[in-house]
Structure 1
Amino acid sequence: MRRELGYGMRALRRRPALLLAAWSVPEIVPTAGYGVAVAHATDAFLAGRSQAGLAWLAGLVAAAGLGALGAGQVYRRLGDLVEPVRDDLVRLVVGGALRRGAAGERTDGAVSRLNRQVEIVRDTYAGLILVVRTFVVTVVGVLTGLLSLAPVIALLVVPPFLLGFAASLAILGKAARRVQGSLAADEQLTTSAGTAFSGVRDLTAAGAEDFAADLVGEPIDAHAAAERALAKVAALRTLCFAVGGWLPLLILLAAGPWLLGRGVTTGTLLGGLTYVLLGLQPALNTVMAALGDSGLRYVVTLSRILDSGPPAEKPAPAAVPRNHQARLHKVSFAYGAHAEPVLRDLDLVVPEGDHLAVVGPSGIGKSTLAGLVCGLLAPTGGRVLLGRVQPEQLSADLLAKTRVLIPQEAYVFSGTVADNITYLAPDATPQQIERAIVAVGAGTLVTRLGGTRAIVRPTQLSAGERQLIALVRAYLSPAPLAVLDEATCHLDPEAERRAEEAFAARPGTLIVVAHRISSALRARRILVLDGNDASLGRHTTLLRTSPLYRDLLGHWQAPRDGDQDQIQPAS
């Protein structure tokens, strides 16, 4: 339970939470004022000053209007707190399913968690925020009003109220365990009953009715015991409400003659009763009901989501790359525990300033290699180093500044052209933006769209146009290592040549997963992937020594005798 409550506290965004608290302040005014208004209005009416009594009631109405204004703003700010939590849970569920699927484990229930359980947590989380906020506002308002009205009444009613509330919090942990036990008993009973019902004919034929009764009887007894345990918790909750909600009222009524004898007016006593009946008692009832219902659903459901997420990993110490060299040492990777490795014992060094093309048949592992270099995939064997540092040791911000990847289907979002192309370089100047657009060859597209301030509608762009925008974005990125994973596959050969030459002239290192063999001809070095084998060299060397490379080029001649150049092995 502590884990789930801790998650909810950490999920609170500071700025939205502060705004929510700020807009809750106006609601304290009517809460603090209605008891005072009732007290003074009652005394005024008893004294025959009807106009003064009506004035106090009118003030109460005005304060209620102020509170309604604050309440309206509170609901507007609630989404800023709740929606990021849902996004985090979605990422958690998807990440956990992908991790377990890649490891060959079962991912049962992932769809249910993604759809139903995430929505349950979001709704209950929002409800709990509102209930707790209202409870705090009510308690602060009532306490303020009682202290201004008659501190002695506050001393009589506030302690038992807080005692009942504290007791209700103390049994929440027990209630959560009882609910989880009830769910487990229900699942066990369902499984046992289903087994017995599915074999009822065989059980009857074999005369095994007593065995079936024993099989189902034990889960029935366990489920009944779990339900009785829940009923006991409900009884304890009722007792807590009696202490916190009704005991203050009884104390105040019993102390009424004593208070009147000490100079407390009838109106003041009535105002105190108003605070208890219309303030403390409903607030306690609401918060206890919410914590006992929505709170338990939140804890139990979130617990199942957190248990299904990616396994917790110890945070790696912060590291800073010494350079932007990419190195793979004996790297292997397989999609699943029982799958054949896509890459096996691959050794590769891509020094600073290199221009490397990766070629090979479809499905040979070229995009996998790109994902490993960029830290999107973790090797199942060996190590990947960026500047002598493993990608998982880099913070997310530093990793984003170290490498940039443009996949085959790049993402373009709704917004201006400038928003899209400066996403990775928000401080880029207009001159830098213009140079990047021209260098990559996106000038015609940007002009047709209406300039950098024009609105981009992704569905109205072709795949090639989306790729051009993504290429400009990557070109502007400060990352010294650029990886083009068939990023120009939707461009014509001339547009592809211009974009690749722009990235080759860009300061830093370029790795191109080639879509056309012309990309390899423009590279300084070429990596040929062939199953679990790999060869690395220049074009002329590979042309003589790599049959697969010659095949890709359309050259089928055998290497000539006497060639002295030897291919540099990559694995």
Structure 2
Amino acid sequence: MGYALAAALDDGFLAGAPRTGFAWLGAAAAAVVVGAYGTGKTYAGVAGLVEPFRDRLVTAVVDRALRRGDPAAVSRLTHQTEIARDAFAGLVMVARSFVFTAAGALTGLFLLAPPLLAVVVPPLVLGLALFLVTLRPLARRQEAYLAADEALAAGFGEVFAGLRDVTAAGAEPRVRAEAGALTEAALQASRALARWSVARVVALAVAGQLPVVLLLAVAPWLLDRGVTAGALVGALAYLTQSLMPALQNLVHGLGTSGSRLAVVARRLTAPSRTPGAAAAPGSPAPSSEAPALRLRRVSFAYGEHADPVVRDLDLTLPHGAHLAVVGPSGVGKSTLAGLIAGLLRPGSGAVVIDGRRADTEAAAARRVLIPQEAYVFSGTLAGNLGYLRADTVPEEELRAAAEALGMTELVGRLGGFGAPLAPAELSAGERQQIALARAYLSPAPLAVLDEATCHLDPAAEARAERAFARRPGGTLVVIAHRATSARRAGRVLVMDGADTACGDHHELLARSPLYRDLMGEDADGAHGSQPSPGSHPPRPPRDADRINPVPRPGLAGDGGHVVAHRPVGQVQAVGDLPDGRPFRGE
């Protein structure tokens, strides 16, 4: 554009040849059209870069959410990934525009008159250097601003969801103070970001506007040394119509979109530790002397004023142990599983896995939890089974796991390990088998089965538990829903509120009335179907959970279970009762 204007003036209008001048102006217009066409064609190439980038970010966010339960996953998936995609696309476009525009403008200035470069290049380089120096602190302020914004959104989300509770509890002053602190932190972060943005304006003025001022200031000197009037007009056109807009886009793009992209991408793709991943640098290696699991006076309650579900529990499991946890419904068995898995934090005491606290990433690599509701995602069967492994699981190992867990027939019916899965077409029991095999193949030595076999028949359940118990160096904790699980375990933990007991099957039959009731046996080992003299357990009724022991014999349908002394609010499944029969016909 600048070269065409200079030629139109020097060789055309100022030389008395208007046709030549108009011809050069026509060439400049044609160049603008060609440039616009070329810019339009670049968008397809940008899409080819940006969309795979966004897909990788989404994969990283979903992976972290599934592995670590990231509470900000929804915000990251719906908001921050879109910020990153838009920022990346804008950054690619402004960078491309600046590179080609600057190269064209500087080449044009050189062709017009080499002395013009001596005026334009020094302030341009100085301004760009000043801008690049401010990028890192600007990115840090941008990250602090985003973190404050996330905290503000999360805090006010909790407040809005609990306005009724806040009013009922008279907590307005406390909530006002906490919300005010979050708002003040966001305000300070915003101000810090704005202060550093001033440096960006200064850099833009030095690189983009100072060359124009200098060019006008030294114009007489340039004219005295042979630079033509057309060359000066062309140089001004290069600066004001090409270089300055491209520079403004670059500075604003890198300063805003670039720093935001760096911050958001780092937050989205920060590595998450997965079960089976190598320990972080500096973390101690697994200790062979430390027990596989240790609970030291652990207490937990669902609320500040609620009765503890787990109270002062001490438990030590060596490597290779097989523990079954039994007790009435609602007594805290799943709560214990959550404490071991690090999903819940004890109110007091400590949960330690292989020498590491349960809420650390080092402990997360040493355990795997299989909940009652098994999760199967769309993909191949091999992808589901090997999800907790850092490497690709060989097919021989997949077949061995399927054989150990009794799911060879299921693998054949699905079409092999490479077959795609449709989770909605699987039964609850089939999903549980796949989740069990996934945990079986994971390198985590401690496996916690929280009623993870409730949809399997007793034979399949027994086979799965035996397979986990035989894992080399493996430790198994089973939250049992059938009495047979306790019979198979080497140790049994009977949870009964504040009264807990731990031992093997025969020890607990001798000293735990609740365990005898759950097993449907008398103190001397006779099954509950044979009436025994007297009532068991011979303890006074308790009322902590509105549940009393059953005095027997003589009650119709009695299987040594428990009954509520108020209206029944939940009915046990028939198969959960020790004698397998309905209770009064339910």
Q: Say whether the fold is shared (TM-score over 0.5).
A: yes
Partner Cα distance (1:432, 1:232) in 2: 59
Post-superposition CA distance 1:1-47 (Å, at most 9, x none):
xxxxxxxxxxxxxxxxxxxxxxxxxxxxxxxxx76788789989899
| Residue of structure 2 aligned with 1:407, choices 359, 367, 371 | 371
| Residue of structure 2 aligned with 1:533, choices 499, 502, 506 | 499
1:462 aligns with 2:421: no
The Cα RMSD (Å) is 5.4
Pairs within 5 Å for 1:244-263: 245-256=208-219, 258-259=221-222, 261-263=224-226
Deviation for aligned residue 1:152: 4.0
Aligned length: 456
Query: Identity rate of aligned residues, in percent?
Result: 45
Partner Cα distance (2:69, 2:468) in 1: 36
1:77 aligns with 2:43: no
Please list every run of 5 or more consecutive structure 1 residues that lacks an aligned counterpart in the other structure: 1-33, 100-109, 185-229, 306-314, 561-571
Please list every run of 5 or more consecutive structure 2 residues that lacks an aligned counterpart in the other structure: 153-192, 269-279, 527-586
Q: Give the match for residue 524 of structure 1.
A: 490
Pairs within 5 Å for 1:272-351: 272-286=235-249, 318-323=283-288, 325-351=292-318
**Pair 1:86–1:489, CA change in 2 (3 A):** same
**Pair 1:131–1:361, CA change in 2 (3 A):** same
Deviation for aligned residue 1:520: 1.0
Deviation for aligned residue 1:403: 2.0
1:144 aligns with 2:103: yes
Pairs within 5 Å for 1:9-408: 70-81=42-53, 121-149=80-108, 150=110, 152-160=115-123, 245-256=208-219, 258-259=221-222, 261-264=224-227, 269=232, 272-286=235-249, 318-323=283-288, 325-395=292-362, 399-400=364-365, 402-408=366-372
Partner Cα distance (1:148, 1:283) in 2: 15
Higher relative contact order (CA 8 A, sep 6+): 1
Q: Give the match for residue 499 of structure 1.
A: 464
| Structure with the largest fraction of helix | 1
Deviation for aligned residue 1:452: 1.0
Deviation for aligned residue 1:244: 5.4
Post-superposition CA distance 1:268-311 (Å, at most 9, x none):
65553343233332234446767999899999999xx9xxxxxx
| 3-state SS of 2:356 partner | coil
Deviation for aligned residue 1:478: 2.2
Q: Given residue 413 of structure 1, which amino acid in structure 2 is its aligned partner?
A: F
Q: Given residue 278 of structure 1, which amino acid in structure 2 is its aligned partner?
A: Q
**Pair 1:264–1:377, CA change in 2 (3 A):** farther
Contact 1:90 1:114 in 2 (8 A): no
Q: Given residue 74 of structure 1, which amino acid in structure 2 is its aligned partner?
A: V
Q: Which moved more, 1:410-419 or 1:492-501?
A: 492-501
Partner Cα distance (2:323, 2:195) in 1: 70
Partner Cα distance (1:403, 1:232) in 2: 47
Contact 1:421 1:470 in 2 (8 A): yes
| 3-state SS of 1:320 partner | coil
Partner Cα distance (1:474, 1:128) in 2: 39
Deviation for aligned residue 1:342: 2.1
**Pair 1:252–1:350, CA change in 2 (3 A):** same
Q: Which moved more, 1:444-453 or 1:418-427?
A: 418-427
Partner Cα distance (2:33, 2:233) in 1: 18
Q: Give the match for residue 382 of structure 2.
A: 418
**Pair 1:118–1:487, CA change in 2 (3 A):** closer
Contact 1:138 1:279 in 2 (8 A): no
Partner Cα distance (1:299, 1:273) in 2: 35
| 3-state SS of 1:352 partner | coil
Deviation for aligned residue 1:58: 8.0
Q: Given residue 241 of structure 2, which amino acid in structure 1 is its aligned partner?
A: L
Q: Which moved more, 1:495-504 or 1:81-90?
A: 81-90
Q: Given residue 550 of structure 1, which amino acid in structure 2 is its aligned partner?
A: R
Q: Which moved more, 1:375-384 or 1:417-426?
A: 375-384
**Pair 1:38–1:526, CA change in 2 (3 A):** farther
Contact 1:422 1:473 in 2 (8 A): yes
> How does the TM-score come out when normalised to structure 1?
0.63
Partner Cα distance (1:558, 1:533) in 2: 22
Q: Given residue 103 of structure 2, which amino acid in structure 1 is its aligned partner?
A: T
Deviation for aligned residue 1:327: 1.5
**Pair 1:558–1:270, CA change in 2 (3 A):** farther
Q: Give the match for residue 512 of structure 1.
A: 478
